[in-house]
């Protein structure tokens, strides 16, 4: 495996870990409809950060950044919407 392949693999592995970490939270909020312990401010700022990372990934044409942040954006927007809906 060359350096470029290893770097891409490393990027996808890191992206997978950080993206998948939001799945349990999204599932829990969807199932329980409980969001009182989640911070609207944190999820708002985090979602803005994800949007900026996605734009950055598109600008530099980095698939690990694009894919991870597109998926994470979907998960965080879901959680953010449910925080607003259930508070």
**Each residue's pLDDT tens digit, 44-81:** 999 999 999 999 999 999 888 898 999 999 999 999 99
Q: How many domains does the chain have?
A: 1
What's the token pair of residue 13? 């592995």
- In angstroms, the CA 58 to CA 48 distance is 15
Residue-wise pLDDT for 13-29, tens only, equals 888 898 899 899 999 99
Q: Is the dihedral of CA 31, 86, 51, 7 positive or negative?
A: negative
pTM: 0.83
Q: Which domain holds residue 67?
A: 3-86
Dist CA 66 CA 74 (whole Å): 12
| Furthest-apart CA atoms within the chain: distance in Å | 50
What CATH number corresponds to the domain at position 41?
1.20.1280.290
Determine the Cα–Cα distance for residues 20 and 14; give it in Å rounded to an integer: 10
């Amino acid at each position: 495996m060359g350096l470029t392949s290893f770097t891409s693999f490393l990027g996808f592995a890191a992206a997978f870990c950080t993206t998948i970490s939001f799945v349990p939270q999204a599932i829990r909020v969807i199932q329980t409809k409980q969001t009182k312990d989640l911070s609207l401010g944190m999820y708002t700022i985090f979602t803005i950060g994800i949007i900026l990372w996605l734009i950055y990934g598109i600008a530099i044409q980095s698939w690990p950044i694009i894919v991870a942040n597109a998926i994470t954006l979907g998960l965080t927007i879901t959680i953010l919407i449910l925080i607003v809906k259930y508070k």
